[in-house]
Amino acid sequence: MSTAAVHVSSILHEYTAGESLLSASGRDLGAVLDDLERRHPGLTFRIVDEQNRIRPHIKIYVAGRMARGLTTKIPAGAEIHILQALSGG
Amino acid sequence: MAKKSKPRSTSKKPKRPTLLIGTAKGGFALEPSGSGWRMRGPFQLGARTHDLRLDPRDGKTLLMASTGGHLGPTIYRSEDRGKSWQEAPRPPRFAKLGAGSPRGKKARGSRGQSVKINFWLEPGHVDEPGVWYLGTSPQGLFRSVDHGRTWRGVNGFNHNPNWAAWVSVGTDGTPDGPVLHSIQIDPRNARHMTVSCSSGGTFESLDRGRTWCPVNRGIAADYLPDPNVEYGHDPHCMRMHPARPDRWYQQNHCGIYRLDRDQGETWTRIGERMPKRVGDIGFPIVLHPEDPETVWVFPMDGTSIWPRTSPAGKPAVYRTRNGGRSWERQARGFPQRLAFWTVLRQAMAADDDPVQTGLFFGTTSGEVWASLNSGQSWSQLAAHLPRIYSLRLARFRR
């Protein structure tokens, strides 16, 4: 099972006690988010909706590539970036 | 000889309520303070707030229906007048499409949908403390039995085999998406309730949400090929009268209606007595706290491409005191020209004073207006707020 460094956008710091760099384990992105949810309750539902779809204004990069879904595999030592889209008005 | 004391009135005029205001950028509270008003907030600045309500049963629990921009919808709670807020541990969410889901798109109901907006909050019956209801977009109904902490779908509606047809799945509905709103609980009977769908119409349940029937007969749907459909209507706001719950009123996309439910199921259009230059289109409809014949509406321009602004830029409230047989204009204090705002469906309310009823509304341009004399004159209480989605009245317990 891979352990990844997860960089979290400031909009989510309310759920991470202000931390911007987290650590989580999982073979794929869904497992990583489950692991994050155990440590930071409420965080995952802000990133994916109840159908496990990444929310429209959230972008997740795994090892520099944008993830299209939660089945994205996590390579050993990968960095994950969870970002907010700069949209709105 | 004992000194005669002067008789003192025991009747005390109730203090005006606090106005809870939901805006495009968070919540606010406008509290009566001395002879004026004091603004508190913003609460959850940046969070689109479609509703903000106090539980009238405990006078303490505040719920905020929020759509947090990038992060999707959630519910916030406060038990200290908004000084601190906590997110609900389990916000409303539709059921997943799983292995046990019925086959066929129609049979699935709302399974597989994702909540995009938490739209309309409604405290449950007075005999059911801690129960709340919520309407969402897409059009779903949710219930909490623990003061808004955790939410479950009301499956009699959300998983109804008719759900997709009733709520016109696949249509865009209102600009922000079709919404389930105007959740009304019969004060005589917690099992009797109604909901209204901006793409679908009004639906009634007699068993606390287990089964539902459409109640739309008589309401126009002039945007459909068959205007006499059973459902598919566009109610903007529907109210059950608090003192006479069989008297229902509705501000619809196609006019103003009244129904005496104990006498049938066919609505009567009562907006045709409105002045033709104004029309009978609007969002909110507000009822007198005791008199079932007295109703206020806030008309908007529903002509041509539906600008949804005050007709001719001249805002006005209209009141009937005879169940819609005649209407009077109430605009003293409003701008006389060039005021192109309107009032959304849950942004207007009446207080509980039966004689000099307090009326309050928030506008799409961020202004708060009040009348403390049943609409005869109006004054502006606040301006420069974000677009106002909701204005609800609250009486906190000390």
Phi, psi of B269 (to 5 degrees): -75, 120
Strand partners, B90: B150
Contact A88 B70 (CB under 8 A): yes
| Cα gap B75→B178, rounded to integer Å | 19
Which residues on chain B are in Cβ contact (under 8 Å) with A53? 114
Give the total number of structural domains in chain A: 1
Q: Is B208 a residue whose pLDDT tops 80?
A: yes
Does residue B182 sit in helix, strand or coil? strand
Contact B89 A11 (CB under 8 A): no
Q: Is B91 on the interface with A (CB under 8 A)?
A: yes
| Cα gap B85→B27, rounded to integer Å | 11
Overall average pLDDT of the B348-356 stretch? 97
Minimum CA–CA partner of A41 in chain B: B89
Alpha-carbon torsion (B223, B225, B230, B232), positive or negative: negative
CATH number at residue A10: 3.10.20.30
Contact A57 B70 (CB under 8 A): yes
Contact B72 A85 (CB under 8 A): no
pLDDT score for B104: 75
Structure confidence by residue, pLDDT tens digits, B100-152: 777 777 778 999 999 999 999 999 999 999 999 999 999 999 999 999 999 99
The more confident residue out of B227 and B203 is: B203
Percent of the residues in chain A that have a pLDDT greater than 70, as a whole number: 96
Overall average pLDDT of the B245-250 stretch? 98
| Cα gap B199→B235, rounded to integer Å | 8
- Best of A10, A13, A43, A51 to disrupt the B interface (most B CBs within 10 Å) is A51
| Cα gap B141→B159, rounded to integer Å | 10
In a domain, A38, yes or no: yes
Contact B71 A49 (CB under 8 A): no
CB-count burial class (<10 Å; 0-12, 13-18, 19+) for B346: buried
Model-wide pTM > 0.90:
yes
In a domain, A23, yes or no: yes
Domain that holds residue A48: 3-84
Minimal CA–CA distance to B78: which of B105, B46, B53? Answer: B53
Which residues on chain B are in Cβ contact (under 8 Å) with A12? 71
Minimum CA–CA partner of B97 in chain A: A51
Q: Is B5 a residue whose pLDDT tops 70?
A: no
**Domain residue spans in chain B?**
122-385
Distance from CA of A49 to the nearest CA of B (A): 6
Structure confidence by residue, pLDDT tens digits, B36-95: 999 999 999 999 999 999 999 999 999 999 987 778 899 999 999 999 999 999 999 999
Overall average pLDDT of the B23-36 stretch? 95
Overall average pLDDT of the A52-81 stretch? 94
pLDDT score for B2: 44
**Within chain B, how many helices (H) and strands (E) appear?**
2, 28
pLDDT score for A88: 65
For residue B78, give the amino acid letter.
S
Structure confidence by residue, pLDDT tens digits, B272-330: 999 999 999 999 999 999 999 999 999 999 888 888 999 999 999 999 999 999 999 99
Q: For residue B173, name the pLDDT band (cuts at 50, 70, 90).
A: low
Contact A84 B93 (CB under 8 A): no
Distance from CA of B230 to the nearest CA of A (A): 32
Size of interface A-B (CB pairs under 8 A): 45
pLDDT score for B172: 57
CATH number assigned to the domain with residue range B122-385, chosen from the 4 options 1.10.150.120, 3.40.190.10, 2.130.10.10, 1.20.1630.10: 2.130.10.10
pLDDT score for B1: 43
Q: For residue B174, name the pLDDT band (cuts at 50, 70, 90).
A: low
In a domain, A89, yes or no: no
Contact B96 A49 (CB under 8 A): no
Structure confidence by residue, pLDDT tens digits, A2-50: 789 999 999 899 999 999 999 999 999 999 999 999 999 999 999 999 9
User: Chain-wide mean pLDDT for chain B?
Assistant: 93
